[in-house]
Structure 1
């Protein structure tokens, strides 16, 4: 899929090989299903999954590149502003497309 292709509902753009480069700094963030704020930040997916399993958590573990998610997504071509409100303070503050993500139920990946 080219960077300019539109995604269908439910589809997500996967990171390119350069976006998965070891030089690219990413972190894993855990956000509980009913939580207002994220409750965990991890350098590796394994560390995050271990922590979530210990606490039997339900939510989402999402990989983010370090930086503002809106700016990073625009820079990498994963999002193209196309509406008047794109880039507004409210839009940027609520923008959250991470990279890979895993849904967890009671601390285990929810397949």
Structure 2
């Protein structure tokens, strides 16, 4: 499955960058000393459908089948990293070292 890395800056309402590799994303984050989160997303499938397909989430309640739930759905199991001023948060690794 294809995947991309999505950077969402702290306080931002929209994504500020989409990258084909974590290394490429981290270079952007470091270059501009950005703060926010970097998350790996599957391409061509929603996170909701991906999580269901991978058996990471099983909708059971009626509201979990509703548009409002699905359009806000994220999975804690998605690989993700946090950054402060261009550097990984203290407890996380970075490919930049």
SS in 2 for 1:86: helix
Gaps of 5+ in 2: 91-97
Q: Which one of the candidate residues 72, 78, 92 is aligned to 1:99?
A: 78
Gaps of 5+ in 1: 1-23
Runs of 4+ in structure 1 off by over 2 angstroms are none
Kindly report the root-mean-square deviation, in angstroms, between the aligned alpha carbons of the 2 structures.
1.1
Partner of 1:12: none
Partner of 2:36: 59
SS in 2 for 1:85: helix
Instruction: Normalising by structure 2, report the TM-score.
Output: 0.86
Aligned residues between the structures: 88
Using the alignment, how far apart are the partners of 1:88 and 1:52 within structure 2? Answer: 35
